[in-house]
Amino acid sequence: MVTRSSKKKPRPKLELTTQASVARRGARCYKGSITPDGVRASLTLAEPPRELPAPLAALWWDAKGDWARVHGMINDLETRDAIAVHAYLQRKEGVTWNAEYWYGRAGLKFHRPTLEEEWQALVEGQTGE
């Protein structure tokens, strides 16, 4: 008689750094389990990986050019990550006074010189990279 152990094997940590690995496995929302390169690679997909937390999914939609969807996703969220994304969106829209308000709520006293650098910094902050 063969017995099976009830212990589950630990899953390896996923490093999603290529387009193929993103399409094959999807992204994971745990910090360190998806990389900024993995987020960028997933932009070739029609929808963001469903496991992305809302602020990171919002940045994904922003990179796809869907500002209205992004704003709707994060407008009522109260996490620091969501508030930081909201600040970025207000800056991108050109409403500086409102962006500064949201930066303050996120506890940020600065932003990156370009919107692209800020997007990258936000993704890196949310992926733990």
pTM: 0.71
Residue 66 has what DSSP assignment?
Answer: -
CA angle 39, 100, 129 (to 5 degrees): 25
Least confident piece of the model among 7-11, 44-48, 125-129: 7-11
How much of the chain, in percent, has pLDDT values that exceed 70? 74
- The residue extents of the domains of the chain are 19-127
Amino acid letter, 65 = G
Is the model's pLDDT at 31 over the cut of 60? no
Is the model's pLDDT at 42 over the cut of 80? yes
Q: Looking at residues 71-83, what average pLDDT do you find?
A: 90
Mean pLDDT is highest, among 5-9, 10-14, 26-30, 31-35, for 31-35
Pairwise CA distance, residues 71 & 96, whole Å: 16
